[in-house]
Amino acid sequence: MRRGLLYVSALGLSVAALGAGQLPETGRVIGRVRLTSKVPGKPLPSTAYPRRTVGDHDAPSLPEIRNVVVYIKDAMYRGALPAMRADLRQEHETFIPHTVAITRGSSVDFPNGDPFFHNVFSLSRAANFNLGRYERGQSRAREFTKAGTIKVYCDIHSHMSATILVFDHPYFTIPELDGSFELPAVPAGQYTIVGWHERVGERLERVRVEAGKAASIELTVPVPVDGGAP
Amino acid sequence: MSDARRPPRLLMKTLMVTFVTVALLLAVVFVVVTVSVRNQVRQTVASNLESTQRLFAAVETRRQRELRAQAETLADNATLKAALDTYQTETRADHATGRADLLATIDQVLEKVAARVDSDAIVLVDSRQATLAAAGRMADRWPRSRPVSLVASKAPDSFDGVARMGDSVFRVVTVPLLLDDATIGTLYVATSLNQEYAQELDRLAGNRIAIVGDGLVLATTLTPRASRQFESAVAVEHQVDGTVALDGESYAFRRLVTVGDTVFYALGSIDESSQAAMRDAMRNLAFVGVFGIGLAAIGSLWLARLLSEPIGALSNSLAAMAASQNVSARLPVTGSSRELDTLTETFNALMASVGEAQAQTQSAYTGAIRALASALDARDPYTAGHSDRVSVLSVAICRQLNLPPADVEVVRLGALLHDIGKIGIPDDVLRKPGALTAGEFDIIKQHPVIGARMLRSVAFLAPHIPIVELHHERPDGQGYPRGLRGDEIPLDARIVHVADAYDAMTSARAYRSARLPAEAIRELWRCAGTHFHADIVAALANSLPGVVSDATHAELEPV
């Protein structure tokens, strides 16, 4: 699973490198994302009665850093976007990974790894679809042809959700576990770098990219965490 | 007038004392019952409220949980969450206005939830604590994008609170909408704390209800006046329980449940409850009172009879004694009570001593009279000892006639005194040796009347007066002083007459010698029927055995 994630990231990076190869006047953006938690007031108890879990609900949750996407805001890209193929598995009543970033025209597979039915649907402006219900071992795919933020849900398990970010350009990445990231082959110029998290929105940082150089920035994303523990 | 001043009868007194005692007792019981009933009712109302509170709190907690679980189930809706999350994500990302189709989807889901949950409004509050959508009959109080502040309950695992929207106050049960363990919004199940709600609680709890929030009564089933008084008296201090006077009525109150800054009070009227209890107690008391007074009346009547009957019997005996002037009679000992018996015995002892004193007085009188009679007899040597002898003879006749001892006593003294009137006869007439003239004899004939007049001045000599006055009457009416005939002459006078004649004949006189007894008897027999009563003469003759043996029947019978 983690391997799958790395695979997606590596794919993205290779795409970026490919673009960089066409344009020699490029530099890199390297940096680090720092998550700070903004602890809200005492949360209300989530249920009236103790929750009785159905199945194995103790899914190994991914570190929050993997739900952050770093990208260049409103980047212009004239080249042909490479189509990608990403996996968004449904396992332990959870979409894994929770956040996927892809280029426009890419497809996402939604394999069902749970021993019961799942569904995939979205109400988002960029992609409004419903893949229907299907059992274990089956998989449905969807091609995303419009850039935007697409929230994906399971109609059967109302607590499941995932986010797919579809970009018009290849300048995006998901940070490593230690928060470090790299956007390679970025044309020299002035940019706004975004650190995005679904519950925070966009955190912006200005950067100047010079050819052949690495511009370093630090992004701070205040992720709200329930229950006080970050 | 004197009748009005007479003291009351014993019966009236015992009745009065009993009634006063019973009335006092009843009054004391009344006061004690009133106080204790009031106290008991106060305690009952308080404990009633307490159990109501416990039950209410338990039921209410349960109800809130059920409500929440129900709402939670309905809110566990993928469409609702997807619509809300998508709406919020897109609004956040693009800083654009929300999509109307998503809001419509949300509204539709909320309407479904509202139709299934017993509440006044189902409200969706977004992650920025502002209303996003509302459904239900009071949805209009929750306009879109209005910030909501919830005063949550302080209890550790409670999930309710109070929210104020404009001038409406809602009790709110919250249901968080979770997506991947993060809260994306909150569903409020809101119940308006209005008059209707207070009335429903009133009906459930069976008590008056006052809902107090922020020092103000929000809703109540008390009267407006009582409500204002309750507000100023209790609301501010948030007391748990106590008693309070509202609009002239005494209430016990207790805090049922606290939600956020809002407190639910139950109130029970002590006066209302105690009226019913007092009515019961008074009915019982009245029954006891009537029964008690009846019993007391019977008891006092009985007591009065017990006391007054022997006293009445005693006083009747006394009255009879007084009427007969009989000092020798004794009162019967009733045996009804020791005191009364002692009284009777003391009285009898007193009467005995009185009788004794009277007897002494009489014997003193008698002695004096006897001395007088002796002195009279002594004036004439021929008549010396005459009165004593007549007395002895008369008593002998009485014995012969079997007269009762009392009558014998009358005769004994009467005979002794029979010639007492001769005191008033001049000596020259009385002691004249020769024959008396007619005038002198008339003077002599005065002595019974004189004697009777003398005796009348001494009360206890009254029984002897007939003897003194009439001892010279004769059966043929030729006697003096009245000339009575036959049976008109009292028996004792006849006896003394015969005895007097016999002694006169057997005594020597200046003008003749004494005759022999038998001779005298013969003479008496001769005059029997004219001068003397024959039965008396016979009795005298029988009482003198010697005489009778001397004067044989043969001698006597033919006469």
CATH number at residue B523: 1.10.3210.10
Would you say residue A46 has pLDDT above 60?
no
Mutation target vs A (from B68, B90, B189; most A CBs, 10 A cutoff): B90
* pLDDT greater than 50 at residue B485: yes
Domain shared by A102 and A66, yes or no? no
Whether residues A88 and A70 share a domain: the answer is no
Instruction: Give SS3 for B336.
Output: coil
Query: What pLDDT shows up at residue B180?
Result: 82
A50 is a domain residue: no
* Domain CATH code at residue A195: 2.60.40.1120
Per CB-CB distance under 8 Å, the chain B contacts of A48 are 64-66, 68-69, 72, 159
Distance from C-alpha of A30 to C-alpha of A24, rounded to nearest angstrom: 18
Residue B389 in contact with residue B373, Cβ under 8 Å? no
A201 contacts on B by Cβ (under 8 Å):
92-93
* A88 plus A161 within the same structural domain: yes
Q: Which one-letter DSSP state was computed for residue B460?
A: G
With cut-offs at 50, 70 and 90, classify the pLDDT of residue B364: confident
Percent of chain B with pLDDT over 70: 94
What residues of chain A have any CB closer than 8 angstroms to a CB in chain B? Answer: 43-49, 94, 98, 121-125, 149, 151, 153-161, 163, 198-199, 201-202, 224, 226
Helices assigned H by DSSP within chain A: 2-22
Backbone dihedral angles phi then psi of residue B72, each to the nearest 5 degrees: -65, -45
Residues sharing a CB contact under 8 Å with residue B443, sequence separation 6 or more, in sequence order: B425, B426, B429
Instruction: Say whether both B241 and B371 belong to one domain.
Output: no
User: What pLDDT, on the 0 to 100 scale, is given for residue A130?
Assistant: 93
The alpha-carbon gap from B257 to the nearest alpha carbon of chain A, in Å, equals 18
pLDDT of residue A68: 93
A68 and A119 share one domain: no
Contact list, A46 vs chain B (CB under 8 Å) = 176, 178, 183
Give the number of other CB atoms < 10 A from CB of residue A62: 17
- The mean per-residue pLDDT over the stretch B476-503 comes to 90
Same domain as B473, residue B360: yes
Query: Would B416 be classed as within a structural domain?
Result: yes
Tracing tokens 């002892």 back to the chain, one arrives at B349
B77, B89, B99 member nearest A158 (Cβ) = B77
Q: Is B225 on the interface with A (CB under 8 A)?
A: no
The mean per-residue pLDDT over the stretch A13-28 comes to 57
Closest CA–CA distance from residue B116 to any residue of chain A (Å): 18
The reply to whether A123 falls in a domain is yes
Task: Say yes or no for a CB contact (<8 Å) between A159 and B102.
Answer: no
Which chain A residues have a beta carbon less than 8 Å from that of B72? 47-48
**What is the average pLDDT across A28-47?**
70
Tokens of B522: 């013969």
Indicate if the pLDDT at residue A67 is higher than 80.
yes
CATH number at residue A157: 2.60.40.420
Residues of A in contact with B90 (CB under 8 A): 124-125, 149
Query: In this predicted structure, what is the pLDDT of residue A144?
Result: 94
Q: What's the rounded mean pLDDT across residues B136-162?
A: 83
pLDDT of residue B267: 87
Determine contact: B427 vs chain A, CB below 8 A: no
Span B242-269, average pLDDT: 84
> Tell me, what's the pLDDT at B552?
39
Q: Are residues B399 and B258 in the same domain?
A: no
pLDDT in tens, B419-477: 888 888 888 887 777 778 888 888 888 899 998 988 888 777 888 899 999 999 999 98
Domain final residue pick, B243, B270, B297: B270
8 Å CB contact between B223 and B251 = no
Count of CA atoms in the C-beta half-sphere (13 A) of B396: 19
Instruction: Report which secondary-structure segment, H or E, holds B220.
Output: strand B216-220
Name the β-bridge partners of A91.
A94
**How high is the pLDDT of residue A192?**
93
Residues B132 and B84: beta-carbon distance below 8 Å: yes
Residue B214 three-state SS: coil
pLDDT band for position A9 (cuts 50, 70, 90)? very low
CB B500 within 8 A of CB B391: no
Nearest CB among B81, B92, B159 relative to A48 is that of B159
Name the pTM for this structure. 0.60
Residue B375: pLDDT band with limits 50, 70, 90: confident
Determine the 3-state secondary structure of A31 from DSSP. Answer: strand
CB contact under 8 A, B183 and A226: yes
Question: Do residue B182 and residue A201 have CB atoms under 8 angstroms apart?
Answer: no
Find the helix or strand (DSSP H, E) in which B94 lies. Answer: helix B78-94
Q: What is the predicted pLDDT for the residue at A4? A: 41
Rounded Cα distance, A159 and A83, in Å? 30
Neighboring chain B residues of A163 at a CB cutoff of 8 Å: 89
Cα–Cα distance for residue pair B436/B440, rounded to 1 Å: 6
Last residue of a domain, one of A123, A146, A168: A168
Closest chain A residue to B181 measured between Cα atoms? A159
**Do B421 and B533 fall into the same domain?**
yes
Q: B220 CB near a chain A CB, below 8 Å?
A: no
Same domain, A97 and A161: yes
CA distance A63 to A65: 5
CA angle at B184 for the pair B178 and B185, rounded to the nearest 5°: 100
Measured CA to CA, the distance from residue A104 to residue A146 in angstroms comes to 6
Q: Name the domain count of chain B.
A: 2
Can you read off the two tokens belonging to residue B451?
A: 């004697």
Which residues in chain B touch residue A91, judged by CB atoms under 8 angstroms apart? none
Asked whether residue B311 is assigned to any structural domain, the reply reads no
Does residue B370 surpass a pLDDT of 90?
A: no
What single string gives the DSSP state of each residue in B24-43?
HHHHHHHHHHHHHHHHHHHH
In B179-336, where does DSSP find H-type helix? 195-205, 224-230, 270-324
Domain boundaries, position B443: 355-556
Would you call B176 and A156 a contact, using CB atoms and an 8 Å cutoff?
Answer: no
**B247: pLDDT confidence band, cut at 50, 70 and 90?**
confident
Alpha helix positions (H), B379-437: 386-400, 405-417, 427-430
C-alpha B292/C-alpha A29 separation (Å) is 111
Residue with tokens 């005996």: B317
Q: Give kind and range of the element (H or E) at residue B360.
A: helix B338-378
Structural domain contains residue B16: yes
pLDDT over threshold 90, residue B60: no
Cβ B69–A49 below 8 Å, yes or no?
yes
Q: At A142, which helix (H) or strand (E)?
A: strand A139-143
- B252 and B374 together in one domain: no
Claim to verify: residue A117 and residue A130 sit in the same structural domain: yes
Is residue B291 domain-resident? no
Q: What is the C-alpha separation between A195 and A205, in angstroms, rounded? A: 8
Complex ipTM, two decimals?
Answer: 0.80
Provide the pLDDT for residue A122: 94
Quick one: tokens of B523? 């003479």
Neighbour count for residue A192 (Cβ, 10 Å): 14
**Residue (of B270, B214, B202) closest to B43 by Cα position:** B270
pLDDT reading at A11 higher than 60: no
> What's the whole-number mean pLDDT along residues A108-115?
93
For residue B211, give the nearest of B65, B60, B63, B43 by alpha carbon: B60
Residue B212: what pLDDT?
A: 86
What contacts B495, CB < 8 A, 6 or more positions away?
B394, B397, B398, B401, B411, B415, B536, B539
At B479, the amino acid letter reads: G
Which residue out of A38, A94, A159 would a mutagenesis test of the B interface target, given it has the greatest number of B Cβ atoms within 10 Å?
A159
The alpha-carbon gap from B111 to the nearest alpha carbon of chain A, in Å, equals: 19
Query: B78 CA to chain A: closest CA distance, Å?
Result: 4
From chain A, the residues in CB contact with B157 under 8 A are 45
pLDDT score for A48: 54
Token pair listed for A178: 């230690």
Whether A70 and A181 map to the same domain: the answer is yes
Confidence check: pLDDT of A12 > 70: no
Pick from B457, B460, B458, B374: nearest CA to B422 = B374
Of A89, A90, A69, whose CA–CA distance to A167 is shortest?
A69
Looking at residue A101, its pLDDT comes to 95
Mean confidence (pLDDT) of chain B: 83
A10 Cα distance to chain centroid: 14
Is B185 within 8 Å of B124 (Cβ atoms)? yes
Average pLDDT over every residue of B322-339: 76
Residue type, B287: F
How far apart are alpha carbons B195 and A147 in whole angstroms? 54
- Residue A17: pLDDT above 50? no
For residue B481, say if its preceding peptide bond is cis, omega within 30 degrees of 0.
Answer: yes
Pairing of strands A26-38, A214-224: parallel
Token pair 């042909």 is found at A80
Let me know whether A70 and A182 are in one domain. Answer: yes
- What mean pLDDT, rounded, does chain A reach? 80
Which residue matches tokens 């309950």? B153
- What angle, 0 to 180 degrees and rounded to 10, lies between the N-to-C axes of helices B10-75 and B100-116? 150
What value does the mean pLDDT take over residues A61-82?
87
Checking if the pLDDT of A49 tops 80, the result is: no
Question: At B204, which CATH number?
Answer: 3.30.450.20
pLDDT in tens, B207-239: 888 888 877 888 898 888 888 888 888 756 667
Quick check: A85 and A109 in contact, CB under 8 A?
yes
| CA count, 13 A, side-chain hemisphere, A34 | 7
CB A215 within 8 Å of CB A209? yes
Q: What is the pLDDT of residues A137-190, one digit of tens each?
A: 999 999 999 999 999 999 999 889 999 999 999 999 999 999 999 998 888 889
Residues 6+ apart with CB under 8 A from B385: B377
Instruction: Band the pLDDT of B3: cuts 50, 70, 90.
Output: low
Domain boundary among A126, A147, A168: A168
Q: Residue B111 and residue B542: Cα distance in Å, rounded?
A: 150
Is residue B222 packed enough to be buried (19+ CB in 10 Å), middle (13-18) or exposed (0-12)?
A: buried
How many domains would you assign to chain A?
A: 2
Same domain? For A157 and A91 the reply is yes
Whether B108 and B236 map to the same domain: the answer is yes
pLDDT band at B529 (very low <50, low <70, confident <90, very high): confident
Task: Name residues 105-134 of chain B within 8 A of A (Cβ).
Answer: 105, 127
Residue that is last in its domain, among A168, A190, A217: A168
Percentage, residues of chain B above pLDDT 90: 10
DSSP class of residue B396 equals: H
Q: What is the pLDDT of residue A61?
A: 65
The pLDDT value given to residue A90: 92
Position A229 scores a pLDDT of: 34
Q: Which domain holds residue A183?
A: 24-39+62-77+174-225
Kindly state whether residues A66 and A114 are assigned to the same domain.
no
**Domain-located, residue A52:** no
Determine the pLDDT at residue A175. 93
Claim to verify: residue A31 and residue A95 sit in the same structural domain: no
Distance, CA of B222 to CA of B267 (rounded, Å): 9
Per-residue pLDDT tens for B378-409? Answer: 777 777 788 888 888 999 999 889 989 888 98
Per-residue pLDDT at A51 exceeds 70: no
- Could you give the angle at the alpha carbon of A223 between the alpha carbons of A72 and B144, nearest 5°? 95
Is A4 domain-assigned? no
Among B238, B270, B302, which residue terminates a domain? B270
CB pairs under 8 A between A and B: 85
Place A95 in a pLDDT band, splitting at 50, 70 and 90: very high
Domain boundary among B227, B249, B270: B270
Q: How many whole angstroms separate alpha carbon B494 and alpha carbon B44?
A: 102
B 39-68 residues with CB < 8 A to A: 64-66, 68
> Which helix (H) or strand (E) segment is B158 a member of?
none
pLDDT band at residue B199 using 50, 70 and 90 as cut-offs? very high
Same structural domain for residues A186 and A210?
Answer: yes
* Structure tokens, B389: 């002898």
Torsion-angle region of residue B130: left (phi > 0), alpha (psi -120 to 50) or beta?
beta
